[in-house]
Amino acid sequence: MDDPPQVTSGGGRAPVIEPGYTFATITDKISSIVLTRPVSNGWLVGFGIGFLLTMMLLYAIGYLFLRGVGIWGVNIPVGWGFAIVNFVWWIGIGHAGTLISAILLLLRQEWRNSINRFAEAMTLFAVACAGMFPVLHLGRPWLAYWLFPYPNSMNYWPQFRSPLVWDVFAVSTYFTISLVFWFIGLIPDLATLRDRAENRWAAIIYGILAMGWRGSARHWKRYEMAYLLLAGLATPLVLSVHTVVSFDFAIAILPGWHTTIFPPYFVAGAIYSGFAMVLMLAIPIRKFYGLEDFITQRHLENSAKVMLATGLIVGYGYAMEAFMNWYGGNHYDNYLLWNRLHGPYAPLYYALLLCNLGFPQVLWFRKWRTNPGLLFLVSFVVLVGMWLERFIIVVVSLHRDFLTSSWGMYYPTKWDWMTFVGTIGFFMAAFLLFIRILPMISIFEMRTLLPEAKEVKAE
Amino acid sequence: MEELSKQQHHEEACPGKKKKLDLATVLAKIADTKGPEYWRSLEELAGSEEFQEMLHREFPKGASEWLDPVSRRGFLKWMGASLALAGMTACTKQPLEPIVPYVKQPEEVVPGRPLFYATAFSLGGYATPLLVESHLGRPTKIEGNDQHPVSLGGTDVFSQASLLDLYDPDRSQTITYLGDAYSWTSFLAAFHGPLNVQKTLQGAGIRVLTQTASSPTLADQMKQFLELYPAAKWHVYEPVNRDNVLSGSQMVFGQVVETQYRLENADVIVSLDADFLYAGFPGFTRYARDYAARRNPDGKMNRLYVVESTPTSTGVKADHRLRVRAVEVEEVARALASALGINGGGVPPNDKQAKFLAAVVNDLRARRGTGVVIVGDHQPPVVHALGHAINQALGNVGRTVVYTDPVDAKPINQIESLRDLVGDMRGGKVDMLLILGGNPAYDAPADLDFADALKNTKIPLRMHLGLHQNETAELCQWHINEAHYLEAWGDARAYDGTVSIVQPLIAPLYAGKSIYELMALLAGQAEATGYQLVRTYWQKQHSGADFEMFWRKSLHDGWIEGSAYQPRQVDLKAADFPVAGQIDAKAIEINFRRDPSIWDGRFSNNGWLQELPKPLTKMTWDNPVLISPAMADRLGLQKEDVVELELQGKKLTAPVWVQAGHPDNSVSVFLGYGRSRAGRTGTGFGFNMYALRNSAIPWFTTGVSIRKTGDTYKLATTQGYQTMETPIGSRPLVREASLEEYRKDPSFAKEEEPKPDFTLYPQLPGFAYDQNPYAWGMAIDMNACLGCNNCMVACQSENNVPVVGKDQTVRGRHMHWLRVDTYYRGDRNAPQAFFQPVPCMQCENAPCEVVCPVGATVHSTEGLNDMVYNRCVGTRYCSNNCPYKVRRFNFLRFQDWETPQYKMMRNPNVTVRSRGVMEKCTYCVQRITQHRVDAEREDRKIADGELQTACQQSCPANAIVFGNINDPNSRVAKLKASSRNYGLLADLNTHPRTTYLAEVRNPNPELEEKAEHS
Amino acid sequence: MKKVPIYGLMAEFDSPAELVKAAHRTYQEGYRKIDAYSPFPIEELAEAIGFHRSGVPLVVLVGGILGCVSGYLMQYWIHVINYPINVGGRPFNSWPAFIVVTFEMTILFAGLAAVFGMLALNGLPMPYHPVFNVPRFAFATKDRFFLIIFSSDAKYDATATRRFLESLAPRSISEVPS
């Protein structure tokens, strides 16, 4: 073994991978989680909870389809409620995965190698959760396919001036690209599992998925190129997705929605909440599966820094929004600001400021930034805060708009809550399944972090 | 057995019922009970466990948390069980007798081609002349008779909504004896015996109790009956009666006269607690038209002073409103009279009133003969007497005030009449009690305790005739199911005495009987149909030989030529007025008022009216206690707090509503709620205020005590916020100026608006609106709008708008396509108020269209913002992006698809929307299309005025004008050219096609600063 | 014993560095039909065996252009040609509103082109390949590095080539039966 300094990329900072590993040990350590490690009680409990919540979700959805969207708290004027709030929240969470796997790849951030795999998985499941809501919130969900351009008997098409159609394209594209990106990344590791698996059936299934990958130099070259290009495409894509989501609001004429600052601060907010979710997943996992050597202090700290940065951008967004509402001098915008600060939902607005701007400032201090327990807490608070932000944007803008005569209030029903919590359960269940059947850390990319891998360049 | 077979038949009639697994149990349950009882047994059923189960299987657990048990959608689930309705939809028949269509009869009845028939609806004895639209023999829409001098096309909410009563599935459907079904013949058998006995007694044991009646035929039948049975008695009772008016005219003229007003001649109108600009006031339709016609600021504007207690829409329209307790109105009247040199014996109690009265007096003096004083029905006789005296003194009589014979066929003091009856009943003098219509067991003053008298004074034969198996029917052995006025022949007088023949449009759905047919029995006319009775009566009246012509013409026009009463000369007998007792300023006053939506309770099973927001509170489904803001603060009450009212030992708990402009130290309660046997829609809603009502002081008295109970009660209002003021400034939604301000700056209402061509976009090929033959637009004159809600009911009826029930209304999901917003401004205790009808604005740059992902709402070449229901997937984005919030969404399946009667009632030219679809005002596109087709067939353009939207047609005040804005000579184009014209939120560059004419008031310069709003 | 045709000769190395060195030598030696296998990407390796153009970028470019054009044309055809209707007074060809979908379509097509292009060029999926016949090859996805000279190479000679490979001091040499 060479001396550790080589493997750490500069400074006295923690390494991205603890010293003492070889190609073989990395491979065994990660693949064993999938191949040999027995199912633990902790996992069973977690999965059980997720499964039950998923069943609750299905019940809520079944009942929704039976009775209609009226079982929720939505009304006139508040035509959008929890459904859209949750949609924006989940889709935002998804963003971190693509950011880590694509943007950090382009930026040659080696530390991403040990977290990109499960971050991407997180993206997929989050987008899946998000994708449910636009369909569920329809008055006639069975006609959701009318939003896709298909030659139909009515000879009529989607209305491409509507941001909702943009959403359909943005989200479905985002999901597709994330899926293939994730799968491409998996192929070499699937090959590894194919060759490691003792269980014949496992070997066959992994073998089919690996598509006969054999690590030929030619393949690797094309592979790397394709991977790089995908990253290059995914980067503008991920930025566009939340921009488009923000258009749902920014395109409308409603005070509090009709704002040009939405796209940037939606994207920042997305990454903010995304990294919060990454930490909430990484911290327990590295502990539970003893992966502290691969997901090191360094990763936690970097993620924390990203959160701090994006959190400040979001804060700037709030400030500018408020300032423009006041400075713009438009009565309706002025009132929106007043209503946020003093209206019936004011407590939520203050809570939002506390969660997204107040508490996360502890991340300025390295001592706390490197404390997993505290990071976990901050991440949770930020996720709550980001959910509140979407609630403020959707509900508080709608419930008091232009004509005072049609002002109203929005109160979620138990069905709103069941659907929301249900998707969290679904997310949990899906993620726990993932870490049991696929390598949650990219094995081949970890190999490249080893000194032996770097020797080649050394010569 | 019979019931069982009916069930089967019913199931065949409505397939799909079978799928509802729970129906079987309901039917089984019902099979045990006797058919006629069935709906009562369903009421009981509702409580039973099986029903709860079923409820929860129909809408699984938790469903009931938002489905209140008697909401329309709630009960439609067991509508299927309706026994007597077997094959209902199939059984429409025209009446056998020849009835005369209003329009030229086509070769044969064409589907989608309505016929119009003239008829009339009576409320409190006063007829409202109507035209009823009939599709294939089914009455589907009620409109005003525009040829009739009383209506001129206008109607009121009650007559329009009476259509729903015709199709009310809860109507009583058979004759019952002690709750069991019996045939008409068996009734006759049981009836003739006792009647013959009475013959020998001169009918001493017979008592007939009717509601107020103006029908000449009925009066004639009564005459014959009383000749036959001299000792019998005819009693009349209605809870909302005009006793005070009658006694008032007795007091001054020594005789009963009808007072008519000629508001077209009135420059100054003084209302003493009279709500003459709302449905129910005799002559409302005509008064509204005449009043509104005089509100044009470019013409000779009238001025309205209102002295009132409970705030009313009339008070809202006042140029000056003096807020006094009802008991103080008499003082004001006396002071006014004295000031005008009448021995009224009163001085204004305080400066505020003195100042106000001084101004009024000067105004009245300055305009002798063109002023008028109108007194409210519930004010005591002496105030009416003073009113007459003042009008006489000012020489208004004959010019703005006209006296005629009374319209009421039996103008007696109805409460006394009922008191006598109860006396006789308790005195055992009554052997046969025939209650022909009405519901005295529910709405008689509490102290008379009519229900108890009916129940416990073993009267051998008690018979009730009525549309519903109501509280009274329950206490009578016999109940005869009455024929609705659209099912039976009759006649009635309008407020000016004009007689309308009431011709039926449909054969009785349940073989009901009319009051005429029953009276025929008593009057010894044997078996006679209503048609024969009415026709023969008028044959007697008509001297000429051309009766057939006369008859046809009368039916066709909707009234009988020259039947209007001629003005009469009456002169004052008495000139002095009994001095009033001192009123206690400290004691709290209570006002009993007829409900603006369900009147005296007779409409409580009418969903359209129950869900019709009351003009000032925007309240639906309930009758809270109104109190003034000051009083609320004093008693620490908030809206929806429950209080206990105690009056003369009687207690009652009800929620309060803080009503801006309500007089202090006074509360108002509304009659008609708290019914125990109204039907699925009405039973159990609100609070029965009759329980506090006393026959001695039926309308108002002091001495009520209020105690806060600490409970709260959810009330369903349709308007979120009733002021345009926000903490950071006011919004220019309703724009208003005084006449002076208007004269100074006629275009005061104009605010900065984008130019019509203010756009980056090129003109759309084919969508240059000014190149099109038609560009539809609407102008709403807020000077004319009286907030009478007529347009809302018209729209609901024309466009098949569903009723959603109280719970959904609380959730903000009411479905009215057209709403009337009420805004208050200034001091909460004496605010200015405004009405603003809000239909869809049909924006040329519609924000809703751009955001619809499936193109379910797009624009027509004529500028309509079309809604394509079957394309809509229900994202609700359009509603979010609609700044006017006029879009309505079917959050659940609000529309009743099962009830057969409703299928008959609906407008066949309008789609019936289902769950998950957005809907909104279409400018009655079905009417536009119909007229376009007609015009094209005749190769002409649609003439201005020929095409009216439902709201416009029903408006008694002509406040709503719709038409082609491309035609510079159309009324709407002219109005839009007016300097008062402005677009709501037009600064959003939506280019609304619906615009408003700003309100201009005509305050008295003397009181100017009062008119100034804070 | 039956003679199976030889697919090639395979040498196994311990480290990426050795493999790259060996690959260089082999190429210089004049062998062209050669390949190398590693458990992770090694940029130098492809160079060493003389493989320079991957061809993937071109595929992606084509895919992107296709998506972009089809995306805009679809919207134009739908709103201007097939079903022009007044929506909120906006022009039929509301190009600013059409940008988003056009962009998304570009990304979608380009991304899918990248993935399927790469797989196609690599000839994947390929369930069977002779190299898998070598038992030790299973370590190619773990920690071993392999160099193969195909028997189809012009310069290939069973003994000479084996001698050459031995000169590279591999961990082991095995024949790959086809």
How far apart CA B699 and CA B304 sit, in angstroms, is 24
How far apart CA B486 and CA B505 sit, in angstroms, is 6
Q: Which residue in chain A has the smallest CA separation from B66?
A: A71
Interface contact B764-C88, CB threshold 8 A: no
From residue B978, how far is each of A51, B297, B749, B974, B990 by CA, in Å? Answer: 67, 11, 11, 7, 20
Q: A212 to chain C, minimum CA–CA distance in Å? A: 5
What residues of chain A, 388 to 447, have a C-beta less than 8 Å from chain B? 398, 400-409, 413-415
Interface contact C103-A240, CB threshold 8 A: yes
Q: Report pTM.
A: 0.88
B880 touches chain A (CB under 8 A): yes
Taking every pair of Cα atoms in chain A, the longest distance, rounded to a whole number of angstroms, is 78
> Touching C: which chains, 3+ CB pairs < 8 A?
A, B
How far apart CA B545 and CA B549 sit, in angstroms, is 9
Q: Point out the residue among B759, B767, B991 whose CB comes nearest to the CB of C86.
A: B767
Q: B820 to chain A, minimum CA–CA distance in Å? A: 10
To which H or E segment does residue C82 belong?
Answer: none
Interface contact A147-B876, CB threshold 8 A: no
Whether a cis peptide bond, with omega within 30° of 0, leads into A77 is yes
Residue corresponding to tokens 């008697």: B70
How far apart CA C93 and CA C77 sit, in angstroms, is 9
Provide CB contacts within 8 A for B547, sequence distance 6+: B538, B539
How far apart CA B426 and CA B456 sit, in angstroms, is 9
Q: Single out the residue of B797, B937, B815, B337 nearest to residue B580, CA to CA.
A: B337
How far apart CA B696 and CA B404 sit, in angstroms, is 29
What single-letter amino acid sits at B271? S
Judging contacts by C-beta atoms under 8 Å, the chain A residues touching residue B880 are 77, 79-80, 252, 254, 398
Q: C130 to chain A, minimum CA–CA distance in Å? A: 11
Do residues B676 and B472 touch, judged by C-beta distance below 8 A? no
What residues of chain B, 388 to 427, have a C-beta less than 8 Å from chain C? none
To which H or E segment does residue B627 belong?
Answer: strand B625-627
How far apart CA A438 and CA A191 sit, in angstroms, is 12
Task: State the angle between helix axes of A372-391 and A262-288 in degrees (0 to 180), rounded to the nearest 10.
Answer: 150
Do residues B896 and B73 touch, judged by C-beta distance below 8 A? yes
Low-confidence ranges of chain B (pLDDT < 50): 1-21, 33-47, 50-91, 106, 1010-1014
Interface contact A166-C119, CB threshold 8 A: no
| Mode of pairing for the β-strands spanning B138-144 and B175-177 | unpaired
Interface contact A407-B721, CB threshold 8 A: yes
Interface contact B853-A168, CB threshold 8 A: yes
Provide CB contacts within 8 A for A129, sequence distance 6+: A86, A90, A423, A424, A426, A427
B116 touches chain A (CB under 8 A): no
Query: What mean pLDDT comes out for the span A309-318?
Result: 93
Residue corresponding to tokens 């594209």: A173
Interface contact A180-C60, CB threshold 8 A: no
Do residues B175 and B209 touch, judged by C-beta distance below 8 A? no
Q: Which two tokens stand for residue B938?
A: 């005749």
Q: Which two tokens stand for residue B798?
A: 């024309």
Q: For a pLDDT cut of 90, what percent of chain A falls above it?
A: 61
Residue corresponding to tokens 């004001």: B332
Q: Kindly indicate whether the ipTM for this predicted assembly is greater than 0.95, answering yes or no.
A: no
How far apart CA C165 and CA A284 sit, in angstroms, is 49
| Mode of pairing for the β-strands spanning B776-781 and B960-964 | antiparallel
CA atoms within 13 A on the CB side of A25: 10
Do residues B132 and B162 touch, judged by C-beta distance below 8 A? no
Judging contacts by C-beta atoms under 8 Å, the chain B residues touching residue A141 are 873
| Phi, psi of B835, rounded to the nearest 5 degrees | -110, 140
Instruction: Give the tens place of pLDDT for each residue, A57-110.
Output: 999 999 999 999 999 999 999 999 999 999 999 999 998 888 888 888 888 888
DSSP code at position B599: B
| Phi, psi of B16, rounded to the nearest 5 degrees | 100, -35
What residues of chain A, 334 to 353, have a C-beta less than 8 Å from chain B? 334-335, 338, 342
| Phi, psi of B702, rounded to the nearest 5 degrees | -100, 170
Q: For residue A149, is it left (φ>0), alpha (ψ between -120 and 50) or beta?
A: beta
* Average pLDDT along chain A: 89
Interface contact B916-A139, CB threshold 8 A: yes
Taking every pair of Cα atoms in chain B, the longest distance, rounded to a whole number of angstroms, is 93
Positive or negative, the CA dihedral B442, B444, B447, B453 is negative
pLDDT surpasses 80 at A309: yes
Judging contacts by C-beta atoms under 8 Å, the chain A residues touching residue B59 are 67
Q: Which two tokens stand for residue B24?
A: 């079987």
Which residue blocks in A251-371 are alpha helix, DSSP H? 262-288, 297-327, 331-342, 346-353, 366-369
Judging contacts by C-beta atoms under 8 Å, the chain A residues touching residue C143 are 22-24, 27
CA atoms within 13 A on the CB side of B213: 23
Least confident span in A9-18, A161-170, B310-319, B385-394? A9-18
Q: Which two tokens stand for residue B943?
A: 């003439």
How far apart CA C88 and CA B858 sit, in angstroms, is 7
Instruction: Give the tens place of pLDDT for each residue, A329-373.
Output: 889 999 999 999 999 999 999 999 999 999 999 989 988 888 889
Positive or negative, the CA dihedral B32, B37, B39, B41 is negative
Q: Which residue in chain C has the smallest CA separation from A442?
A: C40
Q: Point out the residue among C84, C88, C91 whose CB comes nearest to the CB of B849.
A: C88
User: DSSP characters for A31-98?
Assistant: HHHHHTPPPPHHHHHHHHHHHHHHHHHHHHHHHHHHH-GGGSS--SS----HHHHHHHHHHHHHHHHH
Do residues B42 and B30 touch, judged by C-beta distance below 8 A? yes
Provide CB contacts within 8 A for B169, sequence distance 6+: B79, B82, B85, B680, B899, B900, B901, B902
CA atoms within 13 A on the CB side of A229: 27
To which H or E segment does residue C103 belong?
Answer: helix C95-121
How far apart CA B157 and CA B280 sit, in angstroms, is 9
Three-state DSSP state, B1001: strand
Interface contact A220-C54, CB threshold 8 A: no
Interface contact A253-B883, CB threshold 8 A: yes
Q: Which residue in chain B has the smallest CA separation from A142?
A: B873
* Average pLDDT along chain B: 85
Do residues C20 and C42 touch, judged by C-beta distance below 8 A? yes
Q: Which residue, among B880, B894, B991, would best test binding to A if mutated, counting the most A CBs under 10 Å from its CB?
A: B880
B767 touches chain C (CB under 8 A): yes
Q: Point out the residue among A27, A170, A213 whose CB comes nearest to the CB of C143.
A: A27
> Touching A: which chains, 3+ CB pairs < 8 A?
B, C
How far apart CA B520 and CA B527 sit, in angstroms, is 7
Judging contacts by C-beta atoms under 8 Å, the chain C residues touching residue A165 are 101
DSSP code at position B651: E
Positions of E strands within B368-525: 371-375, 401-404, 432-436, 461-466, 478-481, 490-493, 499-502
Interface contact C89-B847, CB threshold 8 A: no
Q: Which two tokens stand for residue B360?
A: 């009024």
How far apart CA A17 and CA A29 sit, in angstroms, is 13
How far apart CA A131 and CA A134 sit, in angstroms, is 6
Residue corresponding to tokens 């959701």: A144
To which H or E segment does residue B78 belong?
Answer: helix B72-79
Three-state DSSP state, C37: strand
Query: What mean pLDDT comes out for the span A440-459?
Result: 78
Judging contacts by C-beta atoms under 8 Å, the chain B residues touching residue C85 are 855, 858-859
Provide CB contacts within 8 A for B352, sequence distance 6+: B322
Positive or negative, the CA dihedral A281, A283, A285, A288 is negative
pLDDT at position B120: 93
Instruction: Give the tens place of pLDDT for each residue, B94-112.
Output: 666 776 655 555 455 666 7
Q: Which residue, among C82, C86, C92, C100, would best test binding to B if mutated, counting the most B CBs under 10 Å from its CB?
A: C86
DSSP code at position B100: -
How far apart CA C13 and CA C35 sit, in angstroms, is 14
Three-state DSSP state, A204: helix
A137 touches chain B (CB under 8 A): yes
Q: Which residue, among B811, B825, B884, B895, would best test binding to A if mutated, counting the most A CBs under 10 Å from its CB?
A: B811
pLDDT at position B44: 45
pLDDT surpasses 80 at A38: yes
Q: Which two tokens stand for residue B771?
A: 């190149």
Do residues B726 and A335 touch, judged by C-beta distance below 8 A? yes
Q: Single out the residue of B952, B915, B790 nearest to residue B285, CA to CA.
A: B790
